[in-house]
Amino acid sequence: MMRGEESRRETVSRRVILAGSALALGAAATGTVAIRARAQVKISQANAKYQDHPNGKQECDGCIQFQPPNACKIVESPINPKGWCQFFGAKS
């Protein structure tokens, strides 16, 4: 009888340890993703073929990547709201 209780306790303890390990691994993975996101590098203006004037009717302030007043989510800032690059994507 005692042996059965001890065995059950050991099983429960093992489950608690495994659950704790899984939580620790999950937290470590989340931390890694956050560090990668913070370390994200923007595309250089040269590689984006950025220009400080519009391309026809396309200009940064009409692009989905534009962040007022003069930044871009994917290309190095600052940028001109009236500029343009090859990654232009029209706001819908």
Contacts with ligand SF4 by CB under 6 A lie at 48, 50, 60, 63, 65-66, 72, 74-75, 79, 83-85, 87-88
Structure tokens at 7: 């065995």
| Smallest gap from residue 13 Cβ to ligand SF4 (A) | 55
| Smallest gap from residue 38 Cβ to ligand SF4 (A) | 20
Residue holding tokens 């984006």? 48
| Smallest gap from residue 79 Cβ to ligand SF4 (A) | 5
Q: H or E stretch including 19?
A: helix 2-38
Q: What are phi and psi of 88, to 5 degrees?
A: -50, 135
